[in-house]
Structure 1
Amino acid sequence: MHNLLMNSKVLVFDLDGTLYDGTEHYDYYAKLLTNEISLEKRDSFLKDYKKIKDYDHALTIGKIYDSENDLIISLDPITLKPIQVFTWEGQLLSKDELPENYLEKINYELPYIPVGDGWWIPLVASYHYGARDVYHCYDRTKEYMATKEFNIPYIRGLKEALEKVKDSKKLVLLTNSDREDVTRLLKLLNLNDLFHLEITDGKKPLETENHFKNIMNKFNVMPHEIVSIGDNFINEISPALKLGMHGVYITNQTTIQVSDSLLVVKKLEEVFE
């Protein structure tokens, strides 16, 4: 196990995109969203979805999408303050081209959509092409993930690694998924009864800092003794670094290096080797 985790007392894990792998469920979601888009725009939607997945588009994980003005906002990786604004086609806009005080108004609530992880990519692309009120597509994707047709992509060695450290460290699950979904997924992953604390319906990123502070109090630890592990920079990593915690960020963009307190990996398996 990596030293960053060995030297810590509390490990805080996200669930979706962290404790299991793969993108099949995102693709299934995109397929359902295609039906919410007018016929003549469907091809363009699917092409853009693929481009975003391949990091060949202005929109990437870690940015914010303004669904009202159809703009893409880049954030400073530590402060998460908006720093640049792009059109959907990737053209950088100057401050003169933006509405007055535009950057100060950006937040995490509609019409702004933080693209935190893979779930948001198909949704935001569908919004660009005119889809709205599509929560039923997300629900149907979650239902599909509960069927035998869906092969959940396990992370090799994860269960064994967590069992090995369970007695010496506190293991926490912090997720936005609801209790029913979490119980089902943990059972499917064979990870039930491994966590000392499970926080569901976590309302990340708005409540992330509060959750981290409560975890520190509950287990009586300092910020540098906690590691936050996840695939969503906005939800799990930035708030942790801001509080002085360590982070493990799971991403294909492995060139990111914003802090000595952050370990960037392509797959969670790398941490346990």
Structure 2
Amino acid sequence: MHNILNNSKVFVFDLDGTLYDGTVHYDYYANLLSKEISENKRDLFLKDYQKIKDMDHALTIGKVYDSELDYIITLDPITMKPIQVHTWEGQLVSRDKLPKNYDKQNHFDLPFIPVGDGWWLPLVTSYHYGARDVYHCYDRTKEYMATSEFVIPYIKGLKEALQSVKHEKHLVLLTNSDREDVTRLLKLLGLTDLFDLEITDGKKPLETEKHLKNIIKEYNVLPHEVVSIGDNFMNEISPALKLGMHGIYITNQPFEQFSETLLVVNRLEDIFKTL
């Protein structure tokens, strides 16, 4: 870890789930979504969501949900091609029962839903139970997060760690959140004016590679001098590794550290001492 961070010239950070922690906002979102589900299925939704949080379900962060066939797809972490497909109940689906060319489809566009971070777990569960057109629930959750009722889960030591490297490294923020949301969250976190470049509305994972290539060009660096840090493997890590960059993947779920250019940590704080 020491060499990767010291030899890198650019750090690219995700925002949601990376620069702040906690799951209260996800649970608030799940509660709103539960009201969009028929009353006779609401308890099943809440039970499945709890199982997923307890990692006692086929659906986990890093997989893809086929909202049309109700399948859960496990992708190869580098090629992003399906290697296993399960039913919602966890039964393995044999290849001969899959649609033709299923492994060659783009699994990032509807009806496929990449489960990149905690936001997607309640949403996908609600889709399984018949909910649709529920973006207003996400909006209401974001509105809740802007009130004094929501206490943002700070990561202790983050501001100091970023300040300590700001004059030696380029710090970039690359997020799918919109400009207004980013400005508000950075102010709450005390991270305003710490980033050299803030890319909002990033449309990850579809446009991650484009943004990373632009960052290489902007700072005139080599791919291996850039490290992408985030909690969403599909959005932040896989595209970076594909381009020859380093990745630091934040996850509390079991994950094989399969490459010398990849570091897997449980918490962002795990890299602070090195910084």
* Pairwise TM-score range, normalised by the shorter structure: over 0.9
Equivalent residues of 1:33, 1:126 under 8 A apart: yes
In 1, Cα distance between equivalents of 2:106 and 2:86: 14
Deviation track 1:210-264 (CA, whole Å, cap 9, x = no partner) reads 1000000000000100000000000000001111100110101244212111111
Moved more, 21-30 or 48-57: 48-57
Map 1:44-83; keep pairs closer than 5 Å: 44-83=44-83
Amino acid at match of 1:213: K
Match for residue 43 of structure 2?
Answer: 43
SS in 2 for 1:65: strand
Deviation track 1:111-148 (CA, whole Å, cap 9, x = no partner) reads 11000000000000000000000000000000000011
Equivalent residues of 1:254, 1:266 under 8 A apart: no
SS in 2 for 1:83: strand
SS in 1 for 2:263: strand
In 2, Cα distance between equivalents of 1:30 and 1:86: 23
In 1, Cα distance between equivalents of 2:272 and 2:139: 32
SS in 2 for 1:91: coil
Equivalent residues of 1:58, 1:86 under 8 A apart: yes
Deviation track 1:166-188 (CA, whole Å, cap 9, x = no partner) reads 00000000000000000000000
Query: Would the alpha carbon gap of residues 20 and 222 (structure 1) be closer, same or farther in structure 2, given more than 3 Å must change?
Result: same
Amino acid at match of 1:149: E
Match for residue 204 of structure 1?
Answer: 204
Map 1:53-132; keep pairs closer than 5 Å: 53-132=53-132
Deviation track 1:1-26 (CA, whole Å, cap 9, x = no partner) reads 84422221000000000000000000
In 1, Cα distance between equivalents of 2:106 and 2:150: 37
In 2, Cα distance between equivalents of 1:60 and 1:43: 20
Shift of the alpha carbon at 1:38?
Answer: 0.5
Deviation track 1:144-174 (CA, whole Å, cap 9, x = no partner) reads 0001111101111110011010000000000
Deviation track 1:182-220 (CA, whole Å, cap 9, x = no partner) reads 000000000000000000000000000010000000000
Structure 2: gaps (5+ residues): none
In 1, Cα distance between equivalents of 2:266 and 2:204: 22
**Structure 1 residue 5 corresponds to structure 2 residue 29:** no
Match for residue 195 of structure 1?
Answer: 195
Equivalent residues of 1:75, 1:81 under 8 A apart: yes
Deviation track 1:3-55 (CA, whole Å, cap 9, x = no partner) reads 42222100000000000000000000000000000011111101111111111
Equivalent residues of 1:26, 1:122 under 8 A apart: yes
Structure 1: gaps (5+ residues): none
Equivalent residues of 1:14, 1:229 under 8 A apart: yes
In 1, Cα distance between equivalents of 2:173 and 2:263: 19
TM-score of the aligned structures, taking structure 2 as reference length: 0.97
Match for residue 134 of structure 1?
Answer: 134
In 2, Cα distance between equivalents of 1:227 and 1:106: 26
Shift of the alpha carbon at 1:106?
Answer: 3.9
Q: What percent of counterpart residues are identical? A: 77
**Alignment length, in residue pairs?**
273
Equivalent residues of 1:11, 1:227 under 8 A apart: yes
SS in 1 for 2:110: coil
RMSD: 1.0
